[in-house]
Amino acid sequence: MTSTIDVVTDRALKARHRAMWGLGDYPAVAIDVIPELGPELVAASRVRPGDRVLDVAAGTGNAAVPAALTGARVVASDLTPELFDAGREFAARHGVRVDFEEGDAEALPYDDGEFDAVLSCVGVMFAPHHQQAADELIRVCRPGGTIGLLSWTPTGFVGEMFRTMKPYAPPPPPGAQPPPLWGDEEHVRMLLADRVTDVVTRRQTLTTELFATPEAWLAYWKTVYGPAIAVYRGIADDPERVAALDRDLIALAMRFDHGTHSTVMDWEYLIVTARKRS
């Protein structure tokens, strides 16, 4: 049974996560850096006109909007409603309707089997209790419906970025699991287990060519990306640690940079699609 202390602790953790994703300018990241990921996930998940689709941890609707463009009826659910105005503008610019609704991926406010497809684009991976979140994805999907997930891999650039920031961040609370584990195929298969069939996995890369240098990437990232901003805020009173984290992140970007005249990096992700067992 869940104790009152567990509920209070979990609420406080989710409030911190919500505040973190509200920092900086996540809508800019979605539009400038990773806009191709939502359409990739929607195509891989074979969303069809008329489908009822749930985009979990949808942010500003990176997957929800392309899903709606196929003719699906789409709900975009996220812990951080501060992102919804930007999401509604994004949907309006594309001339589609998406219903943005607040919700925790670990306790989705929907009935069993409500959706034909349940998607999450670099989203559910940030819910701290992986099994609980996976159980919810499966619960709200109808039997025979599709689960489609796109997650950064542990050894790709974003996974390595989280590993690099870890020593500079407070220890995660007990029971919280690292986000990039959702980019490990075996981990996802274990989470979904025998409740799904037809599991298909594919590793791909997103090529970013937006930044002139690794230093330019870091300057941008420290301004827009909530998890990085939160880590820097935690060490702000220690200039040596700030400088060390700067050095470590720039070294990481240099390791991934294969550009000649400007920085070009390939950021690896895993797409998993599966069918909920009937």
Ligand X SMILES: C[S@@+](CC[C@H](N)C(=O)[O-])C[C@H]1O[C@@H](n2cnc3c(N)ncnc32)[C@H](O)[C@@H]1O
Q: Measure the CA–CA gap between 192 and 113, rounded to whole angstroms.
A: 16
Listed ranges 14-22, 44-52, 138-146, 270-278: which one lies at the site for ligand X (CB under 6 A): 14-22
Q: In Å, how far are 6, 7, 129, 247 from 1, measured between CA atoms?
A: 10, 11, 16, 46
CB burial readout 38-60, b (16+ within 10 A) else e: bbbbbebbebeeebebbbbbbbb
CB of 124 to ligand X, least distance (A): 7
Residues 92-121 that bind ligand X (CB under 6 A): 104-106, 121
Segment interacting with ligand X, rule: CB under 6 A, options 74-82, 216-224, 235-243, 269-277: 74-82
What number of residues does the chain have? 278
How many residues bind ligand X (CB under 6 A)? The answer is: 24
270 binds ligand X (CB under 6 A): no
> Which residue number, 56 or 252, has a Cβ lying nearer to ligand X?
56
Is residue 140 near ligand X by the rule CB under 6 A?
no
Q: How far is the CB of 271 from ligand X (least distance, A)?
A: 13
Pick from 10, 23, 24, 30 the residue near ligand X by CB under 6 A.
Answer: 30
By CB under 6 A, tell whether 57 contacts ligand X.
yes
**Residue 2: how many CB atoms within 10 A of its CB?**
7
Cα-Cα end-to-end distance for the chain: 29
Neighbours of 153 (CB within 10 A): 22
Residues at the interface with ligand X (CB under 6 A): 14, 17, 21, 30, 34, 37-38, 57-59, 62-63, 78-80, 83, 104-106, 121-123, 126-127
